[in-house]
Amino acid sequence: MRRAIFPGSFDPITLGHYDIIERGIHLFDEIIIAIGSNAEKKYMFSEKQRKSFIEKAFKGEKKVKVDTYSGLTIDYCQKVNAQFILRGLRNPADFEFEKAIAHTNRKLSGIETVFLLTSSGKSYISSSIVRDVIRNGGDYTSLVPDTVKI
């Protein structure tokens, strides 16, 4: 079975994330959307809310599971027997950042990272932009799946 994890904080999940997951479904037998916990990060949405947003967005999709984890992503991959890490790339800066992490993960564990380019109409969307729109009372609904409700 080709199992991939798609790690992130998903604070909140965006249409960019959704795009990568939806396209990744065709590449893997199973995708585990892995919500990472980072003690140094201050989240807008609780872990429970973030998990609920994602579970509702992919309700009925048998190839998608949602879980939470802390610690190293490669340790979580080994725990759930995932052979791949799925990552989305929006721009060249994402590539440079993700490339270093992918090389490190492969060196430490042998786990391969698969990159998908975010669709051009969604490449400008980031969780931090969505949070800023929300904080300032803007209409965030065109940037996130319908399941993200404030």
Residues carrying an active site annotation: 17, 41, 90, 127
Residue 74's alpha-carbon distances to 50, 93, 112, 129, in angstroms, are: 22, 22, 10, 28
CA distances from 20 to 63, 70, 82 (A): 14, 22, 17
* CA–CA dist 108, 76 (Å, integer): 13
Cβ–Cβ < 8 Å for 7, 74: no
